[in-house]
Structure 1
């Protein structure tokens, strides 16, 4: 028996071991939670009789699905995008962008014409 070891089997959650994919998945879940809370809050508060309008329809599930889907895309992509853009930031950075730009005053000289 030259080699009794079997190669490792690929697991279902092998993608979650990739750091970038894990970062995106976590932030997508955060955005999805925010979107779900917002749609639930909109239905709870009922601004401009939105809830009444949705549930007066013959198929309110479609309207809620479209509203939730659009919020999921928006908030999920915003959370994922902000996570990607924050990757280059140093931990000891004092926040704020733009670096340390120093402006120096310039003397304007009036030239005779």
Structure 2
């Protein structure tokens, strides 16, 4: 089978997609969205398999169970996908190489002397 002739529009679209996939933030979000979607599918499958609160019986008794499962899956996908993406963004500044369990923002000093702190009132009294 011969390759179809690629138009200039489709070539530009492929180039934009490749440029987008080279962006580390976009890759981070896409990977974590996929993880969130997998978790959502597992959660919905678990709810239906366990028949939690007779949910499976209620859905299968409906006239269109596919729509009900689709809406349930959509809600879980939005919730869990955004949750996983948000947690990935919040972990961007973490330093996992630190074995002490301390935050990288708080410097550790080896001396037992107290650090001097300047205290000054900036508000005027009325």
TM-score higher than 0.5 here?
yes
Gaps of at least 5 residues in structure 2 are 1-10, 108-126
- Higher-RCO chain (CA-CA 8 Å, sequence separation at least 6): 1
* CA shift in 2, pair 1:51/1:96, >3 Å: farther
Gaps of at least 5 residues in structure 1 are 1-7, 101-113
In the superposition, the TM-score normalised over structure 2's length comes to 0.66
- Residue-pair matches, total: 95
Match of 1:92 among 91, 94, 97: 97
- Give the aligned partner of residue 52 of structure 1: 57
Q: What value does the CA root-mean-square deviation take over the aligned residues?
A: 2.5
The superposition leaves residues 46-76 of structure 1 with CA deviations (integer Å, 9 ceiling, x where unpaired) of 0121101001101111111110001001110
In the superposition, the TM-score normalised over structure 1's length comes to 0.73
